[in-house]
Structure 1
C-alpha cells in the first residue's frame, strides 16, 4: 500500500461528504423558498377566513385486533414548516460531520498501519500482539490494518504516537498559519460526534461537555479561558435550541450592514480534519523522500 493511495482515498471519501452537504443545502433552500411563497399567498387569503394551518393525523395499528386508530393530531403553521426544514437540514449536517469523523478515524488507522508496515520500530511491541518479531517479515499490509484497528482509544492513541514520532507535527498542530488549534478541533468534533450518534445532537449538560473538551485539549485553565469556551459554545444553538448542536451556515454582513456571504460551519470543521490529515501525510512523506 502506497502512502499516496491512503491519502487519496481519504480525500475521495471526504469530497463526497462536501458534495452531499451542498446538495442538502440546495434542497433546503428550494423548499424554504416554496414555503415563503405559499406563506405570502396564504396571508393574502386570510381576509377570507382561511386557515394557514396544516393538520397532520397519526395512526397506530393494534397488533391484537388489526384495527387502525388515530393517536395524535398535529397542527403546523407555515412558520412551523420552515423551522422544520431548517431542523432537518441541521440534522443532516450533524450526520455529515459524524461520517466525516469516521472517515478521519479510518484514515488514521490506515496511516498507522503504513507506519508499522514500513518501519516496525514505529510501533510499540504491544501493538504487534502475540506474534514473534521474526514472523513479521511474512506479514502483509492487511495484518497491520487489523492490528491497528484493535488499538484502544482511536484516534487519540494513534495521534499520540504520531506526535512522538514526528515532533514537527505536534508543533504545527497548535501553532500554524490557519490560526487553529487542531488538537482542540479534533477533540471538539469527537465530542460533537458522540452527541450526534448517541443523543440526537443534544445535551442536558452543555457546560459539562465544553469543560470536558477544554480539559482533554489541555486548555482548561481552571475555566478562565473564555475565548475557547465561547468558541466551543458557538456550535450550539440559541434560545430553545441552546443545548442542540447547530451546524447551519451563519450569515455574515459587510460594512454596509447587508449580508454578503455565509460562514460554512460544517465545512470549516471538515476542513480542520482535512488539514490534520494532510499534515500527517506531509510529515511522513517528507521522511520517506528525504
Structure 2
C-alpha cells in the first residue's frame, strides 16, 4: 500500500460516515415535520386529543415456559416524541464520531507502517520487536502494519514520533488557519469516543473529564486550565439536564431568520480528524 492509497482509503471511509450523518439528519427532519403535521391535526380536530399520540408496550418471552411477560409501557406526547427524535439522532451522531476516531487510529497506524517500511531508520529499534537487523528488509508492509498496531500506547506514541521527526507537525498543531489546537482536538475526540463506547455518552464528572484531556494534551498549566481550552471541550456537551451528555447536534446560528443556518458540530470534528491525518500525510510525502 502506497502513501496516496492510505490517505485515499481513509478519505473514502470518512466520506461514507459523512453521508450517514446527512441521511440521519434528513430522516430526523422528516420525522419532526410529521410531528408538526400531527400537532396541527390536534388543533383542527380537538376531539383527537383524548387518543394517545404514541403508546409502546415492552415485552419478552420467559425462558421457563415461553409465555409473554410485559415489563414496561410508555405513552408519549407529541413533545416527548419530538425530544425523542433529537435524542435518537444525537445517539447516532455519537456512534459516528466513535467510528470516525477508530478510522483515524487505523490510518495513523498505516502511515507509521509506511514510514517504517520505506525508511527503516524512521522507527526506533524497540518497535521492530525481537528480530535482527538483517531480517528487516525482508518484511512486507503488512508486517510493519501489524507492528504499528501493537506499538505501546498507540496512536499517541505514534503521533509523538511524527512530531519528533517532523517539527512542522507540532508547530501547525498549535498554530494554524483553523484557529484550533489540533492536539487538543484529537485528544478531545479520543476521550469523547471512550465515553460514548463505555458510558453511553455521559460523563460522571465533567471537570475531571476536562482535566484529563488537558493533561494528556500538555495544556494543563500549573494546576489549572485556560478558559479557551475549557470552552472548546464544553462545545461538545449540552446544557441544563444534558450538561454531562455529549451533544453533537447541529447548532442554529441565526434562529431569528427563517433560514436553516447552523454549525455542523459533528462535521467540524470530522474536519479536525481529516486535517490532522492530512498534515502527517503531507509531511511524509515531502
Normalised-by-shorter TM-score class? over 0.9
Q: Secondary structure at the match of 2:249?
A: coil
Correspondence 1:98 to 2:85: no
Q: TM-score scaled to structure 1, two decimals?
A: 0.94
What's the counterpart of residue 8 of structure 1? 8
What's the counterpart of residue 186 of structure 2? 186
RMSD: 1.5
What's the counterpart of residue 266 of structure 2? 266
Counterpart Cα distance in 2 of 1:36 and 1:150? 52
Q: Secondary structure at the match of 2:201?
A: coil
Deviations 1:222-277 (CA, angstroms, capped at 9, x unpaired): 324112112211211111211110000000018x7665511010000010010011
How many pairs were matched up?
285
Correspondence 1:245 to 2:255: no
Counterpart Cα distance in 2 of 1:52 and 1:235? 35
Deviation at 1:104, TM superposition (A): 0.5
Deviations 1:18-76 (CA, angstroms, capped at 9, x unpaired): 11111110011111101111012123333566235422111232211221122222111
Correspondence 1:168 to 2:168: yes
Unaligned runs of at least 5 residues, structure 2: none
Contact 1:28–1:86 (CA under 8 A) maintained in structure 2: yes
Deviations 1:182-214 (CA, angstroms, capped at 9, x unpaired): 000000000000011111111111111011111
Deviations 1:100-133 (CA, angstroms, capped at 9, x unpaired): 1011111001000001001111101010011110
Counterpart Cα distance in 2 of 1:34 and 1:205? 38
Counterpart Cα distance in 2 of 1:152 and 1:51? 60
Correspondence 1:279 to 2:282: no
Counterpart Cα distance in 1 of 2:228 and 2:162? 28
Q: Secondary structure at the match of 1:223?
A: coil
Counterpart Cα distance in 2 of 1:152 and 1:69? 49
Correspondence 1:36 to 2:49: no
What's the counterpart of residue 208 of structure 1? 208
Matches for 1:114-153 after TM superposition, within 5 Å: 114-153=114-153
Unaligned runs of at least 5 residues, structure 1: none
